[in-house]
Structure 1
């Protein structure tokens, strides 16, 4: 572009007749007094924004406002915009006149004065009803009912009078100006928030025409006399029959007691067992002519039992069975209802059921090492909440207890001072599935729930089998899984009480392991609900004693969350008072009643302090823990398949590159060219072995050869134990500790293999192998072109374009796999209560180590290992990119620059898995590989219980693909049996990560 600058007066000669051209010699007056208008327009913009935000806040709240107020707000917005436009036009005209010296600058001052307060005056309506709306919504959220502009009125004939209903009269004027407003409002809030009050409260808006009355102050009190007409309002209605309008005679009749509901038999399930979290269905009737504010109790029309709503599965239960909440129709006992049943709108019914009052419960999980006195603590806890004093417990008819337990007491006969002390075992209760602990066994054998009510609050004590169970570490894992399965039945967990013995100078290694195991299953938010209880504190003057320091050190070194021991979350208990009472009720008298009474007083005070602390904690939502466990399980199942598929994609990209080189060779023509148009793809397929095997990894028991891809792979010559049915051995892990129990090593003192004579640490166990296969990729377009006898040039060009497109799609899916793995890891690190080890990195490191060993073997034996070098480079690149992605997500997840840096949510985990399975080329392979490996692992573990084979050791050598050999150690727990509501939620891989 070229241009030339000319003076303005030249334009008249260059553009004759070209419109208005300013006179260059005319002097324009500068306008200096413009700043006040800039401020004025800023104020105008602020008022416009304020008014529009206020109007937006009224959306969805029209039922609490006069229609005239909304219309006035809309009119103010229009008037403000019109006035601003008029001001702009006038200001432009005056500025032009001032510059042309037609008018004086005083006109600007006059214009400014005329519009200085216009914006504030027009927007004064903004916020007029905001305080009232906030007050109304606060009351509604606390359980009150609004009466006013929504057209509803109070019906005195359908009101419940036990307890009596209350009403709060107010209007906007008293809310803003009454001196008693704050006092009365505080009284109302306290009344609504008091859990002991079950009275229905109506807040009556006296600005509404139907409730209009003069008020000088708000009025709060019970409803005594009501003379207003009845107007019923129901927002949703789905009638199944015609309704008759209520007559005055029907309104004054006393309704029958029973309100019934029915469900289509086809929708009804057979399960009648109520879940742990359930509540009585107590909601208004959806009928058009029924009172929409009167909560009613409902019974099944068939079995006549009260309906109960399960909050975990959203089903309504009766003795007939259970059905989804939105499958039910309702018919109340009011004569005004009519003959038919009515159904709620789904969303409205769900809201009412979720907001219905549920029992006031506290769920407390109790954990402790075997022998800490957990069962005795629970019995003491039950006594402290049942009796106010030691004397009251002593004067009861019998001993109060919940858990079978036993202990020994020493006593002597006072009349015979020369008699030796005798030990007597005191046994409290019995139960088939519990031991009393006298033989050194764990007293609690499975997770149990004990309930006790105190001050109208029900406490559920979730008693778990002891940590460091006497049945072994494998039982500890099962105990933790059993505990987590039990928690799944509840919505919230209010407290996690971890019991430790006082005055123990160190924590056992097993306790540390089990505590970390527990944290690995908990969401990070649950840490705030952990408290510590110290037992046997009589000897340490009711203090933690020597146990405090090692616990503080352990928490500092072994957790990634802020978990400390302080006065607020530590409690000291002693069970001497319960021991005294148990012996007393069995006729054994102790002279040390004074210290037992002191133990009662001190421990009960600590129990009350514990309950007060738990009451003030925010409950942990168990679904958060379940969501995290779902992500952990998904990563556990998908980690190996994702890495394997990632390597599979790399090899397929290499195949495409080779194919591209062939198609670019112009010497390739005719039939040879047509043969090369058919593509192949490598797929990884798991194959289950007939029997689990133990093989030797010593170099003298292995051979190496090249496979069809030119990679060096091992061939195992020594199958040291065919049909090896070891329990709890990690597959493909060289030197796993459980291998020492294999039959191949039991007959030798030094634990060398009786077959190959090598050490047990050089062996590994496995029951499936991964094999690569090549499959042909069919393309309909290629087949069509070949049938149509297309030219060599067209076929070559189309083949090249197809390969380029496939390579692009393969690389895209490879990138998606890497990103998904990083997102899983970042999600678990952010939400796990303890340090989360990235198993993917460990697995890559193990594969890299294996590949380096193969390359070294190839160099030593002068074997071509170029294919292994390419694979090593691919593994290293994938590992580094994985680490980079995880780091990027962790650094930016709280302020992500794009979706790839955002942290996964609960729904995002499920969606990400679906996206991976839906990958165009490798999604089905990923899903198939995941399903097959999981099935083979679980099937093999279940087969451990079959009779052993007596067949001789197989002489066949076993060839495995290199990707399977010498894998990292991963623990894969047995699949939980799925039985009803106790179906397991933790199926594997929680120890996958650290065991690598």
Structure 2
């Protein structure tokens, strides 16, 4: 069960305080000076993408240390900054004994899952914000993302990508899209192209100029892209991405082994002088490359505005996906009130009250949920389960959980004298028509999924209502609601079949006009506002701000 808002706030404050002192351990040692001019935007946003296991989280940890310490010696004299908990295996000694190196502490917002090899370690997009220097107020935000090529399969990759797109769609702009690769790859994961395609579908073709490539573990290839370069060039050409620059100017090579050395030393692991010399050189080169990287992003790249006047197909898809639950809940509510108007003499009405969530949550369709009676209707209430890396409330399979962005509560009140049945029916018809148009758009224009998300939600809704029509909660009002929902589903399926048969559908502009029309419905608007607030709160929870001239980080 989710905590109350007051308990959430109290725990968040406690956890943030803990995060500041344990997750990020900084030093008063001299910091690297970055000769970067003030950019147009106060915040420079860099999206970091890469295959699962390529080392995105390690790269971020290393990067902030390169910004903090000019030399490896200064880093050892201070204390390494660990924004993200670190865990890796090293072999030590003459007998190559295995040693697990860990550094950095976890809290309830820990984003890393080290327990399932092959799965993306990073479970949720998380932002790390750095202050570049003391001369201007420019901040750098690097967005860590779940990796693609997850061993759970393409469905998980698609879910991760959908989450990434939803996350960046809440931003105002992106300065760079950084793909992190290894320089000695024998192949490039096929989902790389799918990721690139979906990203450009959202951002538009102009974002191609904001793509940069970073290579990690590059010491073994003399700080070059190595064998990966011809593979990457060939893949970009094969899929009509040849106009994406892949040249020295937008390509950067790092080696994060020196950061691992630094963490290993914190675990009292000894190294010989030759090892130290190699790591010292690696650190120096990576500090230099970090400065080149920042200089290029700040000086050469124009920030890409995410939401401009032209709405892309992908942006429209994300907006519709966000509206599915509000639309269907509103339709069910209208049915309830029309049935009550006809069958109940009490003159009562049911109102929807969306409640903002402060944690990532889902509803489990296996676990029992609270049932209340409003007027003569039985209603199954939302019982959100808190979701971080796993469900905190039950052990049911993940496919029995559906993520929600708000909790829905209900109020039974006296029917407004101005309520008009005909207006309610008109709203219902408009929502019905829009549902079919939107579903056809998602499946056949945006091609976001082969599954009909509207139909899936309608089926779930009917299933829940059917549960109420048995046993003690059986009553005529709920049975009538099931009847109306079944009629809705049949009409809906007929409309989809007609649209697919005739291939007559609204163009992108008409779809966006219809979205705006639907959004004007007060019940839809209340639910959409709750979604926006919930996402804003949760995004803030997954942001860590680091002041590289102070002794700790500030976790929002």
Cα distance, 1:561 vs structure 2: 6.8
User: Corresponding residue for 1:453?
Assistant: 131
Residue matched to 1:964: 497
Q: Provide the residue aligned with 2:158 in structure 1.
A: 477
1:420 — aligned with what?
95
Cα separation, 2, equivalents of 1:469 and 1:949 = 37
Distance 1:966-1:385 versus aligned 2 partners, 3 A rule: same
SS at match of 1:533: strand
Q: Is the contact made by 1:409 and 1:426 (CA closer than 8 Å) also made in structure 2?
A: yes
Question: For residues 207-356 of structure 1, what are the structure 2 equivalents within 5 Å?
Answer: none
Provide the rounded CA distance (Å) in 1 between the counterparts of 2:199 and 2:88.
Answer: 29
Q: Distance in 2 between matches of 1:967 and 1:422?
A: 63
1:618 corresponds, among 291, 297, 302, to 302
**CA distance in 2 between partners of 1:547 and 1:522 (Å):** 26
For 1:571-582, list aligned pairs within 5 A: 571-582=252-263
Among candidates 594, 602, 606, match of residue 285 of structure 2? 602
Cα distance, 1:943–1:564 mapped onto 2, change above 3 Å: same
Secondary structure of the structure 2 residue equivalent to 1:545: coil
Deviation at 1:577, TM superposition (A): 0.5
Instruction: Indicate the SS of the match to 1:583.
Output: helix
TM-score, scaled relative to structure 1: 0.30
In structure 2, which of residues 199, 203, 222 is the aligned counterpart of residue 518 of structure 1? 199
Instruction: Work out the CA distance in 1 between the residues paired with 2:252 and 2:309.
Output: 26
Structure 1 residues 430 and 944: CA distance shift in structure 2, 3 A: farther
Query: 1:927-966 maps to which residues of 2 (within 5 A)?
Result: 928-932=432-436, 934=438, 937-938=453-454, 940-941=456-457, 943=459, 964=497
> Is 1:590 the equivalent of 2:271?
yes
Q: 2:61 aligns with which of 374, 379, 382?
A: 379
CA apart distance, 1:944: 5.0
Relative to structure 1, the CA distance from residue 634 to residue 368 in structure 2 (aligned partners, 3 Å threshold; closer, same or farther) is closer
Q: CA deviation at 1:949?
A: 9.7
CA spacing shift, 1:475–1:611, aligned 2, 3 Å: same
Take 2:315 and 2:44, find their aligned partners in 1: how far apart are those partners? Answer: 28
> How far 1:634 moved relative to its partner?
9.5
Instruction: Answer yes or no: is the 8 Å Cα contact 2:224–2:253 preserved in 1.
Output: yes
Deviations 1:625-660 (A, max 9, x none): 9832576439989xxxxxxxxxxxxxxxxxxxxxxx
Give 1:393's aligned residue: 75
3-state secondary structure, aligned to 1:466:
coil
**Counterpart selection for 1:978 from 513, 531, 535:** 531
CA offset at residue 489 of structure 1? 4.1
1:718-867 residue pairs with structure 2 within 5 A?
A: none
- What residue number does 1:567 align with? 248
Could you tell me how far apart the structure 2 residues matched to 1:458 and 1:983 are?
Answer: 19
Would the alpha carbon gap of residues 925 and 368 (structure 1) be closer, same or farther in structure 2, given more than 3 Å must change? same
> What is aligned with 2:375?
none
Distance (Å, rounded) in 1 between the aligned partners of 2:455 and 2:315: 23
- Residue ranges of structure 2 left out of the alignment (5+ in a row): 1-8, 10-38, 322-364, 366-427, 440-451, 468-489, 504-526, 538-556
- In 2, Cα distance between the equivalents of 1:590 and 1:621? 48
CA distance in 2, matches of 1:449, 1:564: 26
1:442 paired to 2:124? no
Q: Is the 8 A contact 1:506 1:550 kept in 2?
A: yes
SS in 2 for 1:563: coil
Per the alignment, in what secondary structure is the counterpart of residue 427 of structure 1?
strand
What SS is found at the alignment partner of 1:627? coil
1:981 Cα deviation (Å)?
A: 5.6
**1:707-759 deviations in whole A, cap 9, x for unaligned?**
xxxxxxxxxxxxxxxxxx9xxxxxxxxxxxxxxxxxxxxxxxxxxxxxxxxxx
8 Å CA contact 1:436–1:443 kept in 2: the answer is yes
Looking at structure 2, the residues matched to 521 and 631 of structure 1 have their Cα atoms a distance apart, in angstroms, of 6
Cα distance change, pair 961–630 in 1 and its aligned pair in 2 (3 A): closer
Q: How far is the alpha carbon of 1:428 from its aligned partner?
A: 2.3
**Quick one: structure 1 residues 364 and 569, their matched pair in 2 at CA, closer, same or farther if it must change by over 3 Å?**
same
- Whether contact under 8 Å (1:405, 1:436) holds in the other structure is no
Q: Find the aligned partners of 2:460 and 2:187 in 1 and give their Cα distance.
A: 38
Q: Is the 8 A contact 2:48 2:144 kept in 1?
A: yes
Contact 2:46 2:174 in 1 (8 A): yes
2: distance between equivalents of 1:511 and 1:949?
43
Write out per-residue CA displacement over residues 909-933 of structure 1, whole angstroms, 9 at most, x where no aligned residue: xxxxxxxxxxxxxxx9887422356
SS at match of 1:565: coil
Q: 2:89 matched to which residue of 1?
A: 408
8 Å CA contact 1:494, 1:529 repeated in 2 = yes
Q: Distance in 1 between matches of 2:309 and 2:227?
A: 33
State the secondary structure of the residue aligned to 2:307. helix
Contact 2:149 2:189 in 1 (8 A): no
In structure 1, runs of 5+ residues without a counterpart are: 1-272, 274-356, 413-418, 638-724, 726-923, 951-957, 970-974, 985-996
Asked if structure 2 preserves the Cα contact closer than 8 Å seen for 1:404 and 1:435, the reply is: yes
In structure 2, distance between residues paired with 1:485 and 1:510:
18
Are the counterparts in 1 of residues 216 and 254 from structure 2 also a CA contact under 8 Å? Answer: yes
| Residue 185 of structure 2 is aligned to residue 504 of structure 1 | yes
The 3 A distance-change label for structure 1 pair 509 and 561 is closer
| Structure 2 CA distance for partners of 1:469 and 1:949, relative to 1, 3 Å | farther
Distance 1:586 1:631 in 2: 47
Structure 2 vs 1, CA of residues 567 and 459 (structure 1 numbering), >3 Å: closer, same or farther? same
Q: Work out which of the residue numbers 228, 235, 257 in structure 2 matches 1:547.
A: 228
How far is the alpha carbon of 1:979 from its aligned partner?
A: 4.7
Task: Mark the structure with the bigger radius of gyration.
Answer: 1
Equivalent-residue separation in structure 2 for 1:632 and 1:508 (angstroms): 28
- CA contact under 8 A between 2:85 and 2:112: conserved in structure 1? yes
Give 3-state SS (helix, strand or coil) of 1:929's partner: helix
SS at match of 1:516: helix
**Aligned equivalents of 2:40, 2:498: Cα separation in 1:** 56
In structure 2, C-alpha distance between the alignment counterparts of 1:434 and 1:942, rounded to whole Å: 33
Query: Cα deviations across residues 316-338 of structure 1 (Å, max 9, x unaligned)?
Result: xxxxxxxxxxxxxxxxxxxxxxx
Backbone CA RMSD of aligned residues? 4.2
Give the conservation status (yes or no) of the 8 Å contact 1:427–1:436. Answer: no
**CA displacement, residues 925-967 of structure 1 (integer Å, 9 cap, x when unaligned):** 88742235658843624755968999xxxxxxx9986972995
Within 5 Å, give how 1:870-949 maps onto structure 2: 928-932=432-436, 934=438, 937-938=453-454, 940-941=456-457, 943=459
Contact 1:404 1:436 in 2 (8 A): no
Q: What TM-score, normalized by structure 2, do the two folds share? A: 0.52
In 1: Cα distance, 2:265 partner to 2:457 partner: 51
The 1:925/1:385 distance shift into structure 2, 3 A limit, reads same
Q: Secondary structure at the match of 1:623?
A: coil
Separation of aligned partners in 2, 1:409 and 1:608: 29
